[in-house]
Structures are given as structure tokens and as C-alpha cells.
Amino acid sequence: MAILEVKNLNLGFECECGFRQALYDVSFSLEKGKMHALVGESGCGKTISAMSVLKLLPKTASIIGGEIFFDGENILLMSNSKLQKLRGAKIALIPQDPMTSLNPLYTIGDQLLEVIKIHQGLHGTEAYQKAIEALELVQIPCAKERFKAYPHEFSGGMKQRAIIAMALVCNAEILIADEPTTALDVTIQAQIMSLLKDIQTTRNTAILLITHDLALVGENADYVSVMYAGRIVESAPAAEFFNNPNHPYTHALLKSMPSAKRNERLQTITGQPPTIQQFINGCKFHPRCLQCMDICKTVVPPVYYVGENHFSACFLNKDANCPND
């Protein structure tokens, strides 16, 4: 059952040159105990889509259409006080740089105790025990000593574990992991992903993984949505996505991904994704697409269903069977 449903989200920014749309009809859902990866190049709209779920948006951004349901309730219509209770307690963010969430002036323990006090109303020994349990759960060695440490005394991986511990003490039902391992080396990256997978399966937590790393997605996600220039251009269950990719942009991304099995040169995608100021008619990928047709330059491609729960927004599917249509 979907715990989160984003439906036709449209969002824009007020820029020097006026209002510019950044998200176009973004729709995806997240089920309990599953990991859904939002994939794409920098600036494609994946982080702003995720931040919309927490309604943590820059002042210049405004949502101009759509709905976001958490457990059946529209987040976009919630009062600020209700939203504040939701953030951290029900939906927690694991950022790319953990120092954006940790306060360098307080010990890890004090920060955990504060979260436990706010979200669970616990104090004293009870709160302390809960904090130690959480540090142990995220496999921080010598939890009692580390409880007294300041963030600067933690390595990057340990800081990320401390952030995850904060999400655990709140029993968050959704974790939004925004490039959670980008700043970490490969071994620590694997450990953090394995910890997130553990939490997903043992606690039935839903995880929204924001990443540009398709290898990470292949190893961990249950469902994949690819974003390009503010739109979801392909979405499918992970196995179907990797076995039967459809959209030319997905093909290009997969070909640019290193693989030990493929004995071929890595390919790059020519050109750059458009900036928010650049308006592109039709399919926004058309200037970079090797299969571009005349129609692609003027008409926005609709979504075509090309498999079970698998859609692709590309005119090459015009004549395809559409089992879910």
C-alpha cells in the first residue's frame, strides 16, 4: 500500500527573468517497506521533488499544482504545526552533507536527546537508553563514549549513521535519502546502503532514494523513476527497468554507467540538460536525442505504458501495446 503519493506536482521559481517552471506533472508513489529511486543528472528536479514532500522549499519556489498525500492526507493542505510534527517524526531527511543537519556546537548525544524529547516526550534515563539503543542500531561502536562526542569527532560515515539514528528514534515511516553516500568512500557507501536496506526490511520503512548513481539503484531500489528537465520520463519496477529500459535518455544513462560485464567503451551523453531559464519546445530531451523525430520538436510526448507498471514518455512507443492504458 502506498504511504506517499505525489500526483501531478507542478512547481516553479521566481527568477530575475520572471517565473520559470521547474517541475511538470511529477507523479510517483512510495510503498511501505520499499525503496523508490529518483534518478537523473544534477538540476533535473529530483531534490526539489523530494523537498516538496517535506514542504521545505526555497522562498522563491511555489507549487502551482498537484497533490502530495501522506497516509491519505494532502501534505500541501496541512497547517504549519501539523507539518512540523510530520517532519522528522514521520518523514525524515538524510541529507548529502550530514553537517547540514548536525549542530557542531552540541554533542551527538545531546542532539539525539533533543529529538527524543520533542518527538517522543521522553526524558532522563528513558531518553538516554533510547539514544544509546539507536546508536547501537546504526552500528556506531562504543555507543556510550560516542554519545558524548561532537560531530567534528565523527567521520563522514559516522555522521551519516548519527543522522539515521535520529530518524530511527522518531520511528520515521519514510526516509528521504538525498544522495546519502555521495561524500563517502566506496566501502563506507556500501555500509550505509546496507544499513538503509536493513532499516527498510526490518522496520517496514519506505525509502525515497535521490541519486544520480544507477549502480547504487541497481543494487538497492525496488522501483525506479528517471527524471529529465523536471519531468519523470520513465518509471518501472527495478528489475523491469534494468532488463527492459525504454526511454532514449535511460538508455544513454545506462550506457554511461561503468560495468565490469560490458567490454565496451563508456559513452557520454552529448550536450547538457537545459537550465531552468531555457525553454525547450516538445520533448525536452530532443536536442540530445539520437532518435529525435519531427514531432518531438513541437509536441510534449505523453506517457506510454510499455510493460506492467512501466511507463515511458517517448514518441517511439506510439504504436506500442499499452497494457496499463
Binding site for ligand SF4 (CB under 6 A): 248, 283, 285-286, 289, 291-293, 296, 301, 314-316
**Beta carbon nearer to ligand SF4, 257 or 316:** 316
**Beta carbon nearer to ligand SF4, 100 or 281:** 281
Shortest distance (Å) from residue 217 CB to ligand SF4? 20
H or E element, residue 92: strand 91-94
Shortest distance (Å) from residue 255 CB to ligand SF4? 14
Shortest distance (Å) from residue 313 CB to ligand SF4? 7
What does the buried/exposed string (b/e) look like for 124-148 if buried means 16 or more CB atoms within 10 Å of the residue's CB? eeebbebbbebbebbebeebeebbe
Compute φ and ψ for 44, nearest 5 degrees.
-85, -10
Q: Kindly give the pairing relationship between strand 35-39 and strand 223-228.
A: parallel
**Beta carbon nearer to ligand SF4, 135 or 226:** 226
**Beta carbon nearer to ligand SF4, 126 or 294:** 294
Shortest distance (Å) from residue 290 CB to ligand SF4? 8
- The CA distance from 20 to 8, in Å, is 17
Shortest distance (Å) from residue 303 CB to ligand SF4? 11
**Beta carbon nearer to ligand SF4, 189 or 246:** 246
Residue 94: strand pairing partners: 177
Query: Number of helices (H) and strands (E), helices first, in the chain?
Result: 10, 12
Shortest distance (Å) from residue 250 CB to ligand SF4? 9
**Beta carbon nearer to ligand SF4, 134 or 233:** 233
Joined together, the cell numbers standing for residue 182 give 555521495
According to DSSP, residue 111 is labeled H
Shortest distance (Å) from residue 251 CB to ligand SF4? 9
- The CA distance from 203 to 165, in Å, is 13
**Beta carbon nearer to ligand SF4, 204 or 298:** 298
Shortest distance (Å) from residue 229 CB to ligand SF4? 11
CA-angle at 251, arms to 247 and 255, nearest 5°:
170
Q: How many CB atoms lie within 10 A of CB 97?
A: 15
Q: Kindly give the pairing relationship between strand 206-211 and strand 35-39.
A: parallel
**Beta carbon nearer to ligand SF4, 98 or 248:** 248
The amino acid sitting at 180 is: P
Cα end-to-end distance, the chain, whole Å:
21
H or E element, residue 160: helix 156-169
